[in-house]
Amino acid sequence: MALAAGAERVAAEFEYTKEDVNRGVQEFIRQMDEGLQKQGATMSQIPTYVTAVPNGTEKGLYMAVDLGGTNFRVCSIQLHGNSTFSLTQSKVKIPQQLMVAKTSHELFAFLAKQIELFLKTHHNDHYVTHVERRKSYVGFTEEQVFSLGFTFSFPVQQSGINKGTLIRWTKGFDIHDTVGKDVCALLQKEIDALHLPVRVAALVNDTVGTLMARSYTSPGKTGTLLGAIFGTGTNGAYVEKLERITKLKKMGGVSAFEGETGDMIINTEWGSFDNKMSVLPNTPYDRALDKESNNPGIQMFEKRVSGMFLGEILRRALLTLVEDKSVPLFSDEHSNQNDFHSTTTIHEASPLWRQWGLDTSFLSITSGDNSAGLKVTRQTLENDYEVSAPSAEDAEAVRLIASAIGKRAARLSAVAIAAVVISTGKLEKPADIATSNNASLEVNEDNIVDIGVDGSLVEFYPNFEDYIREALREIPQIGPQGEKRIRIGIAKDGSGVGAALIALVADQGR
């Protein structure tokens, strides 16, 4: 088989049609509902105890810390009340021995010490107040105490806005006695031991932070509906009606929120949408990736959408062609006729032979390659992936398959976005009457549905948003008119300001 035909055959396996999109949306909505009703559903739909999104007019000085993996970040955020903010930040690497310390105290005392250092360096007024005049935390007035949002990117069972017990450590951390404990209380204890004027006001999930940050900075005062991450992983958090979160009643928690906004932000954990594989696409490459991953059968949506996996899907698809002797990918047949030294081969040491050897950034490079003869793709294959002398035909085949994988990821992302927009009824406003008459709808601040996104994939993969929009138009409940009303904006590095905003909302709810 000719190379082009072989590549087209593989690319076609990644086609995700209009019918697939619509089936996906229906099932996504069903699984979202199930997650709101009961614990232990495929999609966790975790109540965050955050009951409002900001509108940009919020003011004040807040702190945020972020314990994610390798680093610990401390920052202070001045919210100016006009959708802008200023941020002061410091970052320190977590010493390896503290990640596997004997006791929680060792790690959390280190974190508190970093907060103290930060105050000393950047907010000396608060620090001096403490040392010279007050001597103890108790002596601070409410105004002098910083409210802090604690972004903690490990699995926690949250039971209040600033309460959550660690389920298990991940990412190389392993401190036995932290498991089952409230991580906010652990941090507060060490902060108090240093007599710092800091109150751990909120436990923050990074996706929720993205939603809050976008809602504060987005144009207009409507408030953002959804914050979504398409980076290493994928996840979304959105504003849900409290009354629809029926499992919260069973958890005994709903009465505490009566008289508030009537809303609560839900952390969907949509990476695990359809783990049972009733509607997700499943090529042989997807199946092999999952089988050889360290968590087979889990995070099935994420495994088709996010940065951690797309490169690996492409790698497996390419190797299938390489191993198919009837299709001449990276073989002599197409090697450069003008240079008799060049024969196309994948070097033995090429990362293409290794699991996870192909980075998703390569999909962006090749899908966006407009150079003559796909020179950029060929050079990248040669320099980064040890494929010697790839031909233009090779590069064309690689680009075709990479683009198919990227486009499928974007169309799957549209499924998640559409499901949230449809299930929350956000497009069902009077403005829609115009759509049924086929009159052209004027999109304005009142009928915009705002969505904040973050992550390298949506930021750098060429036309990712365009592909999402194309799919949204194919869904009857949204259509071209609805799609126009959906505004998608980047919420870059929202974690600091997002955590600060959650601390602010937590203060208001006290």
Active site (catalytic) residues: 153, 168, 206
Bridge partners, 90 (sequence order): 74
Of 221, 207, 204, the residue nearest 54 (C-alpha): 221
Residue carrying structure tokens 């009643």 = 249
Q: Based on CB atoms, which residue is closest to ligand ADP, 79 or 212?
A: 212
SS3 95: coil
* Dist. CA 23–CA 28, nearest whole Å: 9
SS3 280: coil
Q: Exposure string (b/e) for 266-286, b if CB count within 10 Å is 16 or more? A: bbbbbbbbbbeeebbbebebb
x/- site string to ligand ADP, residues 282 to 311, per CB under 6 A? Answer: -------------------------xx---
User: Smallest gap, in angstroms, from Cβ of residue 69 to ligand ADP?
Assistant: 8
SS3 65: strand
Among positions 418-477, residues that touch ligand ADP (CB under 6 A) are 455-457, 460-461
User: Smallest gap, in angstroms, from Cβ of residue 140 to ligand ADP?
Assistant: 35
User: Smallest gap, in angstroms, from Cβ of residue 273 to ligand ADP?
Assistant: 18
Among positions 366-385, residues that touch ligand ADP (CB under 6 A) are none
CA 445 to each of CA 71, 77, 109, 307, 489: distance values in angstroms, whole numbers, following the listed order: 39, 27, 47, 33, 14
CA 75 to each of CA 87, 88, 260: distance values in angstroms, whole numbers, following the listed order: 7, 5, 29
- Dihedral angle sign, alpha carbons of residues 411, 417, 423, 426: negative
Among positions 308-367, residues that touch ligand ADP (CB under 6 A) are 308, 359-361, 364
Q: Which residue's CB comes closest to ligand ADP?
A: 231
User: Smallest gap, in angstroms, from Cβ of residue 63 to ligand ADP?
Assistant: 21
Q: What is the DSSP string of 443-477?
A: P-TTT-EEEEEESHHHHHSTTHHHHHHHHHHTSTT
* Dist. CA 149–CA 216, nearest whole Å: 16
Q: Based on CB atoms, which residue is closest to ligand ADP, 35 or 455?
A: 455
Q: What is the DSSP string of 304-370?
A: HHSHHHHHHHHHHHHHHHHH-TTS-TTSGGGS-TT-TT---EE-TT-GGGSTT-S-THHHHHHHT--
Bridge partners, 55 (sequence order): none
User: Smallest gap, in angstroms, from Cβ of residue 494 to ligand ADP?
Assistant: 11
- The footprint of ligand ADP on this chain (CB under 6 A) covers a number of residues equal to 13
Q: Based on CB atoms, which residue is closest to ligand ADP, 109 or 405?
A: 405
Q: Based on CB atoms, which residue is closest to ligand ADP, 300 or 441?
A: 300
Among positions 209-248, residues that touch ligand ADP (CB under 6 A) are 231-232
Q: Based on CB atoms, which residue is closest to ligand ADP, 263 or 359?
A: 359
User: Smallest gap, in angstroms, from Cβ of residue 164 to ligand ADP?
Assistant: 21
Q: Based on CB atoms, which residue is closest to ligand ADP, 20 or 206?
A: 206
Q: Based on CB atoms, which residue is closest to ligand ADP, 129 or 456?
A: 456
Hey, what are 504's tokens? 């602010």
Rg (CA), the chain: 25
User: Smallest gap, in angstroms, from Cβ of residue 242 to ligand ADP?
Assistant: 30
Of 508, 471, 436, 500, the residue nearest 16 (C-alpha): 471
Binding positions for ligand ADP, rule: CB under 6 A: 231-232, 307-308, 359-361, 364, 455-457, 460-461
